[in-house]
Amino acid sequence: MEQKINGNISGIRDVLLDEMKTLYDMDQPAGTFASRELLEAMCAFTGRINREISVYISRAGLIKDVSVGDDRTVSMPEMRLVRNIDRLCGVRCIHTHPNGSGYLSDVDLGTLNAMRLDAMCAIGVKEGQPTSFYAAFVGEVVDEERKPLIYGPLRYDRLPQRGLLDAILEADQRLKAPAVDVAAAKPERAILVGIENNEGYDTLGELEELAKTAGVEVIRRESQKKRSIDSATYIGSGKADELRLLSSATEADLFIFDDELSAIQIRNLEDILCTPVIDRTMLILDIFATRATSREGRLQVELAQLQYRLPRLLGTGLALSRQGAGVGARGPGEKKLEIDRRRIRRRIYELKEELKEVEGQRSLRRTARKKTGVPLIALVGYTNAGKSTLLNALTNASVLAEDKLFATLDPVVRQITLPQGTACILSDTVGFINKLPTDLIEAFRSTLEEVRDADLILHVIDSSCPHYEVQMQVVDEVLTSLGAGNTPRIDVYNKVDKEGALPAHRGTFVHISALTGQGLEDLLTKAEETLNRGQRLIELFIPYEKYDAMQALRAAGNILEESHEATGTRVKVLIAEDRLWKVKKNLGQEGS
């Protein structure tokens, strides 16, 4: 392997770089953890360039890498490290600190655990001379976290060489011990990243709730003040470098960004951060994938996922090409990238065809329901506003209701009778959220059409949320896009039992607590009044010889009571004034 100085070598003269290559010749003798000559040479070079210098040493004592950083950090080199959860990688890192102290930083200790290094060591440098020396080794698990074992401060010229080498072997044994590593049982640790905006509410706080719903542990929230989004890295290269160090210090497994990222942005960020990156859309789709239980829901989620992935497929050149035989098929051939795209397009077509079949079945049920004249009430609202809890309180539906975003996904329909006897159907729909993926709205359009066809919308609002007005605006925008902006609506301010929940209101409204039952009777009464507005409650007797009028009556109104007598049927019906004349005409009672 070519021996060269890696890392940040800009501004360093070639003559000095050649001198620094002599560090590769300082292999460590058997029984030596770090020789005095190596440490003094590293400190001398640090004094001349005022930058951190790191060396990586194998267990055989060979110098595997020499890298240069800046005055605060030095990056992990591009090395093939043999590591897994039950053993160390086989190399130890020794680096300099130009600030005079060898005390190990959080970044140093995080890198030790994340990379399973044999040891992470630092030596302070002051005016080119070595000061204190610290060495850390993978330690025991305490409170589900692995605490490094730290030696120091030590004198660089009197290092306990054999003791430090033995500490590597002891760390190996700690990793091999049964039930020691808890990484598999622990949730993924994520850092949330966003750009400060004028949304009017805490978007990163909402992203944290989404992450918790997905089973992710949020360990840090980072925001960037930036006028415009960087097309290459979303947050800018400088902030990305800061996040890379933060990832090492906190042992993060994942970065979650608060906006939808392009394929180029994801690739560039993962190259810089050396950690997996997902965006808000990917997180929401993942939650939907785990929550969908019905056939239609699973089809809709898979369709949305594939539509999201298709424009984000990236190839890596000719290595992904497939060759064929014969004239016209020679050469690079069809790239694997194109094969993947073709397969995804084919699967999208198949999913859309299956959803058309399901949508047809839903349309038949919708038509049959309309023939009965039973009105439909749709529950809509921001996710976690309490729709499922309200449905359970009104109908004993036993729908899953948790204090999580998107706790329920598949729509639920239940029958309910209002206080004055009006029979209706209550439908719970998927919750809305800010920045809801466009692909997801499109995939769930057939399900959301239940809202468009509703006779009344109950807009459930979490009145305890300080940003409920912003959430209401999001719901309004989605309803307008679905063509349900003019449907009669009642604003249902939920969770008024919580302290500080005293919302302003508009239009027709009611204050309730779905959890305690407060205000539910008032809600049902107002729902019935809204449904029956402009209608008359009348009693009719329909002779059997004019029984065709019953068909028109069922189509035009809502029959509340029906009793059969010797010569005909007596009904009590709720019907609009403009439709009543047609029924009376069939009965020959136009003037009555």
* Phi, psi for 411 (deg, rounded to 5): -65, 150
Q: What stretch of H or E contains 349? A: helix 336-372
In this prediction, residue 98 carries a pLDDT of 92
Measured CA distances, 516 to 184, 329, 356 (Å) = 40, 71, 41
What 3-state DSSP class applies to 335? strand
- State whether CATH 3.40.50.300 applies to domain 374-526: yes
**Across 170-174, 328-332, 340-344, least confident range:** 328-332
In this prediction, residue 35 carries a pLDDT of 94
- Asked if pLDDT for residue 503 goes beyond 70, the answer is no
Q: What is the pLDDT of residues 431-481, one digit of tens each?
A: 788 877 777 777 666 667 778 888 899 999 998 888 888 889 888 888 888
Separation CA 477–CA 479 (nearest Å)? 6
Separation CA 334–CA 315 (nearest Å)? 12
Q: Is 87 exposed, middle or buried (0-12, 13-18, 19+ CB in 10 A)?
A: middle
Question: Pick from 126, 148, 123: which is nearest to 137 by CA?
Answer: 148
User: 168 and 151 in contact (C-beta within 8 Å)?
Assistant: no
In this prediction, residue 357 carries a pLDDT of 85
Q: What is the pLDDT of residues 241-293, one digit of tens each?
A: 889 888 888 888 899 999 889 889 998 998 888 888 999 988 888 888 887 77
User: 273 and 248 in contact (C-beta within 8 Å)?
Assistant: no
| HEC profile of 33-69 | CCCHHHHHHHHHHHHHHCCCEEEEEECCCCEEEEEEC
Separation CA 245–CA 273 (nearest Å)? 8
Q: What is the mean pLDDT of residues 406-420?
A: 77
Beta bridge partners of 561: 572
The CATH code for residues 189-286 is 3.40.50.11060
Separation CA 342–CA 310 (nearest Å)? 9
Residue 433 or residue 405, greater confidence: 433
Tokens found for residue 174: 């700690």
Residue whose token pair is 């010889």: 545
In this prediction, residue 45 carries a pLDDT of 95
What 3-state DSSP class applies to 428? strand
Separation CA 527–CA 279 (nearest Å)? 40
Q: With bands split at pLDDT 50, 70 and 90, how would you rate the model's confidence at 397?
A: low
Q: With bands split at pLDDT 50, 70 and 90, how would you rate the model's confidence at 403?
A: low
In this prediction, residue 508 carries a pLDDT of 82
Separation CA 89–CA 2 (nearest Å)? 21
CB proximity list for 354: less than 8 A, separation 6 or greater: 299
- The sign of the torsion formed by the CA atoms of 323, 328, 332, 333 equals negative
In this prediction, residue 533 carries a pLDDT of 76
Domain ranges of the chain: 5-176, 189-286, 292-314+335-364, 374-526, 535-587
Q: What is the mean pLDDT of residues 381-388?
A: 86
Q: What is the pLDDT of residues 205-224, one digit of tens each?
A: 889 988 998 889 999 999 88
Counting Cα atoms < 13 Å in the Cβ hemisphere of 473 gives 9
Q: What is the pLDDT of residues 104-140, one digit of tens each?
A: 988 888 888 888 899 999 999 999 999 999 999 998 8
Q: Percent of the chain at pLDDT above 90? A: 27
Q: What stretch of H or E contains 142? A: strand 141-142
Q: What is the pLDDT of residues 535-581, one digit of tens each?
A: 777 788 888 887 777 777 776 677 778 888 888 888 887 776 656 66
Separation CA 215–CA 208 (nearest Å)? 11
Residue type, 279: D
Q: With bands split at pLDDT 50, 70 and 90, how would you rate the model's confidence at 16?
A: very high
Tokens found for residue 536: 């008359």
User: 49 and 16 in contact (C-beta within 8 Å)?
Assistant: yes
The CATH code for residues 535-587 is 3.30.70
Residue whose token pair is 């809305």: 432
Residue type, 22: T
- Asked if pLDDT for residue 167 goes beyond 50, the answer is yes
| HEC profile of 520-574 | HHHHHHHHHHHHCCCEEEEEEEEEHHHCHHHHHHHHHEEEEEEEECCCEEEEEEE
Residue whose token pair is 């790239």: 335
- Asked if pLDDT for residue 232 goes beyond 60, the answer is yes
Question: Pick from 485, 404, 474: which is nearest to 435 by CA?
Answer: 474
- Asked if pLDDT for residue 46 goes beyond 90, the answer is yes
In this prediction, residue 181 carries a pLDDT of 45
Q: What is the dihedral of CA 99, 103, 107, 112, to 10 degrees?
A: 130
User: Is 0.85 topped by the overall pTM?
Assistant: no
Separation CA 229–CA 227 (nearest Å)? 7
The CATH code for residues 5-176 is 3.40.140
In this prediction, residue 307 carries a pLDDT of 86
**Across 365-374, 400-409, 433-442, least confident range:** 400-409
Q: What stretch of H or E contains 322? A: strand 321-322
Q: Is 254 exposed, middle or buried (0-12, 13-18, 19+ CB in 10 A)?
A: buried
As a whole number, the mean pLDDT across the chain is: 82
- Asked if pLDDT for residue 325 goes beyond 60, the answer is no
In this prediction, residue 532 carries a pLDDT of 78
* Phi, psi for 587 (deg, rounded to 5): -90, -5
Separation CA 290–CA 122 (nearest Å)? 45
- Asked if pLDDT for residue 159 goes beyond 80, the answer is yes
**Strands 63-68 and 376-381, sheet pairing:** unpaired
CB atoms within 10 A of CB 345: 12
Which value, in Å, is the radius of gyration of the alpha carbons in the chain?
34
Equal fold, 189-286 vs 374-526:
yes
Tokens found for residue 339: 């094969």
